Amino acid sequence: MLLEINDLNVYYGAIHAIQGVSFNVREGEILTLIGANGAGKSTILKTISGILHSRTGSVNFNGEDISGTAPYKITRKGLSYVPEGRMVFSQLTVQENLEMGGYVRNQSEIAPAIDNVYVRFPRLKERRNQIAGTLSGGEQQMLAIGRALMSDPKLLMLDEPSMGLAPILVSQIFDIIKELNESGVTILLVEQNARMALKIANRGYVLETGRIKFSDEAHNLLDNPEVIKAYLGG
């Protein structure tokens, strides 16, 4: 197991947002976490990345307990996270955003890593000196993913990468995620767009108000009548 989540209980003050969630991510797979608005998907990713803390349980990454570790140290261990809403550094240029993504790498590794991102996202290369805040939503998402790849992660966590994008861009983003996975990056994907997510994923977990409701192979979830009714639009 690359990532093992065991009995997470996360609170916002008195609100018990995550209630005893356990799951795991296997090396090399795409795992998707789906659920309605407010189910707690983002909260789980924030807890794994160290921004929030669980009251109980543990987060094991690559055989090491990382619960309670500072976020910047978690990133250095090879876990990269693209937060909801992209969160590019809007005052920095495209290139500077990528450099920040490679903050943990050696100086000599940064230029080749940036070139790799530009090969994957030629659009970003054209706009390398543009201030990131002026990019379109789709370009910002590509930058956010490219930035997260700069640290050469073992595990990439994506929080709703398709949010707010036009349909053509949505399928492009899903293609990119699949390609990344094929090139060896393990992926934990949080999505509202459950159908598309399950189509590219190996396995899925369905989250409902802070608890795991279903967990199965992705293709089984796509055929599960309850999942279809509640999450795949009938």
Partner 1 sequence: MIFLSQIINGLQIGSIYALVALGYSMVYGIVKLLNFAHGDIIMVGSYVLWFGLSRLGLAPWLSVIISITVCSALGMLIEKVAYKPLRNSPKISLLITAIGVSYLLQNLSQLIFTPNPRMLPNFFPGYVSIGGAQFAVVTIVTIAVSVVIMIGLSVMVKNTKMGKAMRAVSENSDVAQLMGINVNNTISFTFALGSGLVAVASVLYCCSYSQIEPTMGSMLGIKAFVAAVLGGIGSLPGAMLGGIIIGIFESLTKAYISSQLADAVVFGILIIVLLIRPSGILGKSIREKV
Ligand X SMILES: Nc1ncnc2c1ncn2[C@@H]1O[C@H](COP(=O)(O)OP(=O)(O)OP(=O)(O)O)[C@@H](O)[C@H]1O
- Asked if residues 61 and 79 have their Cβ atoms less than 8 Å apart, the reply is yes
Residues in the interface with ligand X (CB under 6 A) total 13
Q: How far is the CB of 46 from ligand X (least distance, A)?
A: 7
Any idea of the CA torsion for 180, 184, 185, 191, to the nearest 10 degrees?
A: 50
Stretch that binds partner 1, among 23-31, 35-43, 78-86, 194-202 (CB under 8 A): 78-86
Q: How far is the CB of 198 from partner 1 (least distance, A)?
A: 27
Sign of CA dihedral 96, 151, 68, 10: positive
CA atoms within 13 A on the CB side of 10: 29
Stretch that binds Mg ion, among 5-13, 38-46, 58-66, 102-110 (CB under 5 A): 38-46
- Asked if residues 93 and 150 have their Cβ atoms less than 8 Å apart, the reply is no
Site for ligand X in 42-71 (CB under 6 A): 42-43
Element at 226 (helix H, strand E): helix 225-231
Q: Which of 231, 120, 115 is nearest to 175 (CA)?
A: 120
Q: Residue 193 interacts with Mg ion (CB under 5 A)?
A: no
Q: Residue 81 interacts with partner 1 (CB under 8 A)?
A: yes
Q: Which residue has the tokens 């991102």?
A: 117
Site for ligand X in 78-137 (CB under 6 A): 84
Q: Residue 152 interacts with partner 1 (CB under 8 A)?
A: no
Q: Residue 49 interacts with Mg ion (CB under 5 A)?
A: no
Q: Which residues of 118-138 are buried (b: 16+ CB within 10 A; e: fewer)?
A: bebbebbeebeeebbeebeeb
Site for ligand X in 169-198 (CB under 6 A): 192
The DSSP output letter for 134 is G
Q: How far is the CB of 44 from ligand X (least distance, A)?
A: 7
Stretch that binds Mg ion, among 6-14, 22-30, 39-47, 221-229 (CB under 5 A): 39-47
Q: How far is the CB of 172 from Mg ion (least distance, A)?
A: 21
The neighbouring-strand residues paired with 58 are 6
Q: Residue 147 interacts with ligand X (CB under 6 A)?
A: no
H-type helices in 68-193, by residue range?
A: 71-76, 94-101, 107-120, 122-126, 137-149, 167-182
Residue in 5, 40, 61, 187 binding ligand X, rule: CB under 6 A? 40
Q: Residue 157 interacts with ligand X (CB under 6 A)?
A: no
Contacting positions for partner 1 (CB under 8 A): 49-51, 70-72, 75-76, 80-81, 83, 85, 87, 89-92, 96, 99-101, 103-104, 133, 137, 140, 147, 151
Contacting positions for Mg ion (CB under 5 A): 42, 84
